[in-house]
């Protein structure tokens, strides 16, 4: 841990934080907390802060254009909220109906109670579900007798088929992972994406045994463990604003796209697309990996190639407001995931106003439909009217929604969801080593060790801590220490 006291007076140091998403904001805030003597500028390309976090208020609806909540078991987001006096603003998911549905043969079926992403912790709900055939259930029940594997890095799909059987993978796990990571589990690395499940197999020999050894109060939720999530009452942008409000006046520059980065004898030269250039003692790059790759390409081509190898997917989010009486389905859950084998054009559906209070006016519901992702990337790029048509048609068939929506909104966060493919952890290690050779350069963002908001905050804060350590020490940074350290 770093001492929050500034050391002896010394020359003023300047840091550039590039990228004003939650990673860059967390880095900037940590610099403010730890080292008021260090000056920094947060350079953000667009006209707003938040990156993948954007809340839109329209006609009494509160619409999230990207993330709508964060998990509390990874502590960093909650910790930050406490430190900025924002905890009071956090609300929990509605305590009723904390489960989701999966589509089977065009109909919605509840995900069995206690089935958490890919681990069953209750046998009876699995045995009585109509999602799996008798053979699929039997195969799933045999999970505790399947020998632990020895594959060093395995895809989520391979792990899941090996342990739980093909049917459970296709009918339950693939749609859940597809919904959470907007990715293709055939390519995603288990150890990089969901290390918890690899550890369960390692320690307990089986997922079901691991779950029965660690029963939590969360037992009755299913799918995404909804009881562990919270959201800002007024939406994710209110959290972004609360962090930004803690930064020194004049430290944020919006509409400032960084175009070039050069390592100089005294630090880093940062040039913007407008042709301005400034010198900094250190730089935190909190940009998407493809942007980071472009910016470091002139300094270290191999580092740029490694960063460029991290694939990103995009999905579009179609938010639709309806009068409650337009929807035939009881909406007694938080959403729906669509297995790829069902051949639908949607990835998932979130019943936003059922999940969190205050998302729709009285008598109305807000539903978000996710289209695109790793398995159907081409769909994310359809025109707005085509996306709206697809979304309303699917909701008509699945939820019995009738008539025109009261409100429509299409969000396109872009290709901002990194995919941790098999081999990702080795790649991150190589990135860590190469970036560690570049004194004064620090990497943050969602491309490395976790895509969720808490991990992004953690990465940003770690980068800031290493900057402070380096600048206070005045010595060249030890290559083995950097923000990508586990």
- Of the residues 82, 107, 215, 257, which one makes contact with ligand FAD according to CB under 6 A: 257
- Of the residues 17, 42, 63, 66, which one makes contact with ligand FAD according to CB under 6 A: 66
- Of the residues 15, 16, 17, 18, which one makes contact with ligand FAD according to CB under 6 A: 18
Site string for ligand FAD, 20-39 (x = CB under 6 A): xxxxx---------------
43 belongs to the binding site for ligand FAD (CB under 6 A): yes
Q: What is the spatial distance between Cα 334 and Cα 339, in angstroms, rounded to a whole number? A: 17
Rounded least distance, CB 304 to ligand FAD, Å: 14
Q: What is the spatial distance between Cα 274 and Cα 69, in angstroms, rounded to a whole number? A: 35
Q: What is the spatial distance between Cα 336 and Cα 100, in angstroms, rounded to a whole number? A: 6
239 belongs to the binding site for ligand FAD (CB under 6 A): no
Nearer to ligand FAD, 222 or 313 (CB): 313
SS3 category, 167: helix
* CB < 8 Å & 24+ apart, contacts of 79-88: 80/26, 80/29, 80/243, 80/457, 80/461, 81/239, 81/242, 83/33, 84/29, 84/242, 84/243, 84/245, 84/246, 85/242, 86/232, 86/239, 86/242
Q: How many CB atoms lie within 10 A of CB 404?
A: 9
- Of the residues 31, 35, 38, 52, which one makes contact with ligand FAD according to CB under 6 A: 52
267 belongs to the binding site for ligand FAD (CB under 6 A): no
Element (H, E) at 396: helix 384-399
Binders of ligand FAD in range 70-89 (CB under 6 A): 70
Number of H helices, E strands in the chain: 17, 24
Q: How far apart are the first and last CA of the chain?
A: 14
Rounded least distance, CB 257 to ligand FAD, Å: 5
Sign of the dihedral defined by the CA atoms of residues 185, 187, 192, 195, in that order: positive
Rounded least distance, CB 415 to ligand FAD, Å: 9
Rounded least distance, CB 237 to ligand FAD, Å: 12
Q: What is the spatial distance between Cα 173 and Cα 196, in angstroms, rounded to a whole number? A: 15
Q: Where are the beta strands (DSSP E) in 429-478?
A: 441-443
Q: What is the spatial distance between Cα 421 and Cα 266, in angstroms, rounded to a whole number? A: 37
Nearer to ligand FAD, 62 or 131 (CB): 62
Rounded least distance, CB 447 to ligand FAD, Å: 8
287 belongs to the binding site for ligand FAD (CB under 6 A): yes
- Of the residues 449, 456, 464, 471, which one makes contact with ligand FAD according to CB under 6 A: 456
Site string for ligand FAD, 427-446 (x = CB under 6 A): ------------------xx
Q: Which residues here bind ligand FAD, judged by CB under 6 A?
A: 18-24, 43-46, 51-53, 66-70, 257-258, 286-288, 291, 315, 317, 413, 416-417, 445-446, 451-453, 456
């Amino acid at each position: 841990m770093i001492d929050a006291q500034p050391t002896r007076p010394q020359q003023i140091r300047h840091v550039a934080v590039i990228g004003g998403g939650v990673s860059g904001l967390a880095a900037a805030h940590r610099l403010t907390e730890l080292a008021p003597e260090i000056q920094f500028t947060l350079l953000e390309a667009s006209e707003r802060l938040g990156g993948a976090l954007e809340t839109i208020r329209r006609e009494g609806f509160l619409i999230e254009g990207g993330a709508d909540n964060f998990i509390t078991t990874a502590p960093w987001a909650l910790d930050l909220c406490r430190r900025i006096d924002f905890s009071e603003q956090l609300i929990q998911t509605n305590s009723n109906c904390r489960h989701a549905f999966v589509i089977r043969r065009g109909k919605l079926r509840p995900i069995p109670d206690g089935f958490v992403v890919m681990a069953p912790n209750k046998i009876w709900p699995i045995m009585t579900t109509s999602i799996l055939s008798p053979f699929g259930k039997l195969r799933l029940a045999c999970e505790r007798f399947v020998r632990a594997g020895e594959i060093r890095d395995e895809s989520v799909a391979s792990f899941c088929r090996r342990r739980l059987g093909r049917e459970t993978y296709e009918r339950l796990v693939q749609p859940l992972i597809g919904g959470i990571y907007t990715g293709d589990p055939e390519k995603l690395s288990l150890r990089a994406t969901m290390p918890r499940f690899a550890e369960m197999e390692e320690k307990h020999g089986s997922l079901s045994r691991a779950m029965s050894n660690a029963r939590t109060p969360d037992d009755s939720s299913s799918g995404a463990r909804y009881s562990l999530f919270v959201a800002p009452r007024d939406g994710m942008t209110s959290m972004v604003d609360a962090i930004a409000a803690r930064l020194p006046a004049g430290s944020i520059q919006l509409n400032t796209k960084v175009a070039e980065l050069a390592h100089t004898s005294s630090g880093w030269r940062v040039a913007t697309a407008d042709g301005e250039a400034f010198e900094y003692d250190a730089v935190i790059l909190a940009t998407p990996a493809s942007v980071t790759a472009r910016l470091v390409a002139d300094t270290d081509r191999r580092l740029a190639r490694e960063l460029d190898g991290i694939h990103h997917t995009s999905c579009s989010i179609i938010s639709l407001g309806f009068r409650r009486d337009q929807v035939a389905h009881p909406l007694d859950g938080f959403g729906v995931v669509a297995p790829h084998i069902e051949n639908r054009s949607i990835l998932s559906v979130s019943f936003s106003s059922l999940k969190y209070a205050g998302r729709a006016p009285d008598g109305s519901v807000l539903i978000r439909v996710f289209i695109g992702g790793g398995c159907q990337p081409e769909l994310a790029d359809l025109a707005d009217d085509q996306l709206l048509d697809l979304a309303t048609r699917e909701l008509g068939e699945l939820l019995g929604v009738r008539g025109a929506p009261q409100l429509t909104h299409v969000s396109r966060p872009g290709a901002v969801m990194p995919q941790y493919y098999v081999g990702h952890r080795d790649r991150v290690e190589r990135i860590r080593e190469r970036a560690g050779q570049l004194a004064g350069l620090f990497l943050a963002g969602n491309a490395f060790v976790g895509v969720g908001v808490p991990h992004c905050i953690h990465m940003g804060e770690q980068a800031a801590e290493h900057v402070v350590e380096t600048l206070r020490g005045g010595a060249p940074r030890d290559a083995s220490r950097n923000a990508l350290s586990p």
